[in-house]
Amino acid sequence: MARFERKIRKRLKEETEDFDVWFEKNKEHFPGFVNEESEEEEPQGTVKLKKKRLWIIPTAFVLVALCVFLCFLPMILNNKENSLPLYFGDEAVYGLDLTEQEQEDIKSEYPFISKLTLATYRKLLRTEDESLVFMIIRGEIETENDYYFVTMQVEFNPYYNFLDKANYENLEAVIELDDNLIHYESQGLDSDELYWYYMLTESNGQRIYWEVHCFEESIEEFIQIIFSE
């Protein structure tokens, strides 16, 4: 049995073609892996052909670069998720009425809300995690000179792109009253022939988006009523 195995190994060895010989015969099928030959002089003065397989170095480099990229890919994706906030719209929120305690809390935070009559209170929560996005208060104010229909939206998540948010950008008129920076602009007349204003107020980093409808053309009286102590 051992003799038979030796004969088989000998025959396989005789029939196996040297790789360099095989590659030389088939190199036209591998244009990017052609061996480069260079001459090298030995001490005895004879010239020896030295073969360099050019494909080994670039292939190794590509493999190393790929490994490094795959190692850092989770970190890159995680940093991207953390650095880019996810903006969302109306489809990602739902509304609920404020509880009596929540109404009292928001009035305490913004005392001018108490100046509104016939007020209604709603909050918007993000469906994904039920975090607070907006508080929406609607009400009315009557004065000797005018009657105001008011909607105020208190922002708790700046990444919420509600439907009319773009309308509050670059409002023309800007005034500062106490600690409040107030931007506002007329939108003309609404469908009921009332004067219609958008107003954006900022104080201590807190934004409130207002929509005001009234009978008189100016809302300066309204601003003074809301923000005067």
Please report the domains of the chain, with CATH numbers, ordered by start residue.
2-83 (no CATH), 90-227 (2.60.120)
CB 147, CB 154: distance < 8 Å: no
DSSP per-residue codes, 196-225: EEEEEEEETTEEEEEEEEESSS--HHHHHH
pLDDT of residue 228: 79
Residue 127, sorted as left (phi over 0), alpha (psi -120 to 50) or beta, turns out to be alpha
pTM for this one?
Answer: 0.64
pLDDT of residue 220: 94
Convert the pLDDT of each residue in 103-140 to its tens digit.
999 999 999 999 999 999 999 999 999 999 999 999 99
pLDDT of residue 76: 59
Identify the H or E element spanning 9: helix 2-15
Q: Low-confidence residues of the chain, pLDDT below 50?
A: 39, 47, 49-50, 52, 84
Tokens in use for 146? 């005018």
pLDDT of residue 27: 66
Residue 212 exposed, middle or buried by CB count within 10 Å (0-12, 13-18, 19+):
buried
pLDDT of residue 3: 55
Tokens in use for 65? 């670069």
